[in-house]
Structure 1
């Protein structure tokens, strides 16, 4: 082998991650709310960036001061003032008000306040009892007395340390509780939750239908009694793409610009750019002007990419937009990426957290991407989407006889009759994803 030392030149193509490219990638993957927060932060660090609220157009046509609860039913309207925000109390506030009505020593109040602060959002008591007793110099019986005081407050079930205790506390306040219900909750709660009802019926000498009636009674209890006080901030989804069907056969896609804040140039700094005597200030403003132009370019690229994806979806999922969710077709990120001639990761970022308004409702863009399921219909090449199979699975579960619920294998056979070749393992996976329990857990005993 002949090795020579020397200087040699060769050409090489390489993608370099520049600041501009990094910003474009970041902006593309942001949802609308994240993008607006990002732009507000950019305004604070760049004096040349000025933002304005998004333009509102007629995407949603509503009558003034009236919210229509059920579309298509003009008689069912609700006055706007029912939706005016009113102050809400926390669970701690509601319990503290009740505590204040009791005659307590300052020490009692301190202990009860600390126990209230130890409740989670669902109303369960989360406290390490040994360390709590040591910290406050309490005996076990004393702590139990304080806990009982919390459990006497409203709503019923507050202060339970387990689901079993929470349900039991609620049953204590109900009238005409069947003895079997109390017995099940007290002595057989774990087996009852696991639906080992045959063993319970044998041990208690009752019929399965009696346990079913007890289960129906228990279901009226609230497993999360404190949740009604939880304060969740509502996030309103505004679609970035709008699909309209024209003439019953043409699918048109457009951007809805009423989602993000508008970025404009702060004209007040124009004179500074031209005439300011301080060179450092001029250099600083020139850098910020370049940053502003990069930002505008990234925002334009984001819109272009999302619109391109929307148009491909309109083409590939045309049957969905004309017929509805049951007609959705198999589609992968790679297929769309190949159509637009970009990397698959770009499509993944473009659909993340973005929504589309269709004639059948608002859907997240990733909804339209679903794997193919082999079809055994007449056409061997025909395939169905996983989403379609899930829809069929939901129909079968909804229509099944709850006394004899469908097993996974029976569902496989029924779907095979419909032309979908799906394994039992796949059905179990889909059930889990859809929050559907097994046939044993779905069974009712009447």
Structure 2
């Protein structure tokens, strides 16, 4: 081996990640809202780039002679769904209205401190009573009295410092009182939650069927008493691609009406050119290159998204004609190989984007489902297997729920899906279904 020091020349080929290439990759993975925000930011930086909003229309006030009251009435009729949750009362206002009028100034300050410390579900997490007492120069008993007052307001369970306390506060208001339920939640909450009911039955000297009745009662309680006062506006999904059917087949259209188009500001460029400043000339050249790169990247983004979505529609014709139950197995690698692009490009093209179909709006990623083998060596999607698992568990005997191994065996014999016990458990967990020990009933 030659270990001598020296200088040599060597030619190599490598891909350099330039700023322009990085920007092109970022634009591809942006959805329409992110792309709009990006273009607005770039327009502020680049005076040569103008944004033209296609979805903003001018209006001639003389063209419409509708009275304001009539217009408002029509708008109310059209937007009645959005108005259902507009005037939701705030939780803190609702609680303050219930406070007694004879509170002292100190008591009012303390209970308002508690009210304004509630989270969106109505809990008082991380509240320290001694610190509250020190903050308001009050004794511990006064602080505890105000916490007790808060916890006796409506809705039941408000002001709890844990789920256990929230359930207890609601159980204490029941008529008639259920002493067993209170004892279980107060002293044996963890055993009860873990469904170790046989051990719990031995400890409290009760029948397992009685614990089952307590469980059914607890299921009727509200674990998030403040959630009904949430005032968040509903989020609406704007599709990036629209697929519709016509007599001659499927048609795919990129929906970019809500994304502003960009144009070159010739007037601004001419004014700066006339100044004859060399530094200004270099600045204009850089801004012009930046504009050209953005324009080219946007066109490339459109082309890539359309290519990928067309290939998805080509591979999934039954889905668009009959519905989501006919989704077939498909991977990003298969699409990438057919389009002769990298798999990561497909991943970026579908990231955070949605497709509007005749059967609803779906995330583009949802079209890529893993493949499993069937007893007849045919291919099936994991979604079909999950649907079969959900059907099996829905119709099972709740006194003897199916184990994951039994689910795997039944899938093979009844539906023809060949999966392992671990795969059955994974699909069950993805469906949000608990294990057999936690599904068991003792009626």
Q: TM-score, normalised by structure 2?
A: 0.85
In structure 2, relative to structure 1, the CA distance for the partners of 1:391 and 1:276 (3 Å cut) is farther
> What aligned pairs does 1:148-163 form with structure 2 within 5 A after superposition?
148-163=148-163
Alignment partner, residue 396 of structure 1: 392
What are the within-5 Å matches in structure 2 for residues 337-376 of structure 1? Answer: 337-376=336-375
Is structure 2 residue 300 aligned with structure 1 residue 301? yes
Q: What secondary structure is seen at the aligned counterpart in 1 of 2:251? A: strand
Distance between the aligned counterparts of 1:144 and 1:362, measured in 2? 51
For 1:100-139, what aligned pairs fall within 5 Å after superposition? 102-126=101-125, 127-139=127-139
Map residues 39-188 of structure 1 onto 2, 5 A cutoff.
Answer: 39-55=39-55, 80-84=79-83, 86-99=86-99, 102-126=101-125, 127-188=127-188
Q: Do 1:330 and 1:372's aligned partners in 2 also have CA atoms closer than 8 Å?
A: yes
Aligned to 1:261: 260
Unaligned runs of 5+ in 2: 57-72
CA change 1:445–1:266 in 2 (3 A) is farther
Are the aligned partners of 1:240 and 1:259 in contact in 2 as well (CA < 8 Å)? no
Q: Check conservation: 1:54, 1:261, Cα contact below 8 A.
A: yes
Supply the distance in 2 between the matched residues of 1:233 and 1:82 (Cα, whole angstroms). Answer: 12
Residue 195 (structure 1) aligns with: 195
| Superimposed CA distance per residue, residues 345-375 of structure 1 (whole angstroms, 9 cap, x where no aligned partner) | 1111111101111222211111111222122
Question: Hey, what's the Cα distance between the residues in 2 that align with 1:66 and 1:274?
Answer: 50
Question: C-alpha distance in 1, partners of 2:10/2:202?
Answer: 87
SS at match of 2:80: helix
The match for 2:63 is none
Q: Distance in 2 between matches of 1:90 and 1:40?
A: 34
Tell me the distance in 1 between the aligned counterparts of 2:124 and 2:6.
Answer: 75
Report the alpha carbon displacement of residue 36 of structure 1 after superposing the two structures with TM: 1.8
Q: Counterparts in 2 of 1:300-319, with a 5 A limit?
A: 300-319=299-318
C-alpha distance in 1 between matches for 2:265 and 2:235: 30
Report the Cα offset of residue 164 of structure 1. 1.6
Give the Cα–Cα distance (whole angstroms) in 2 for the partners of residues 291 and 96 of structure 1. 56
1:47, CA displacement in angstroms? 2.1
Q: Which residue of 1 aligns with 2:442?
A: 445
Q: Per-residue deviation at 1:191?
A: 2.0
Q: Quick check: 104-113 or 298-307, which moved more? A: 104-113
Deviation track 1:293-319 (CA, whole Å, cap 9, x = no partner) reads 211111111111111110111122223
Pairwise CA distance, 1:135: 4.1
Deviation, structure 1 residue 139: 4.4
Which residue matches 2:69?
Answer: none
SS at match of 1:242: strand
| Inter-partner Cα distance in structure 2 for 1:368 and 1:426 | 20
| Aligned CA distance change for structure 1 residues 82 and 425 (closer, same or farther; 3 Å) | closer
Give the structure 1 partner of residue 412 of structure 2: 416
Q: Given that residues 95 and 154 in structure 1 are in contact (C-alpha distance below 8 angstroms), is that contact kept between their aligned partners in structure 2?
A: yes
- Partner residue in 2 for 1:30: 30
SS of equivalent to 2:101: coil
The answer to whether the 8 A contact 2:31-2:240 is kept is no
Aligned-partner Cα distance in 2 for 1:413–1:45: 62
Q: 1:246 to 1:395 in 2, by over 3 A?
A: farther
Q: Could you tell me how far apart the structure 2 residues matched to 1:191 and 1:6 are?
A: 73
Name the residue aligned to 2:59.
none
- The Cα RMSD (Å) is 3.0
Residue pair 2:269, 2:284 contacting (<8 A) in 1 also: no
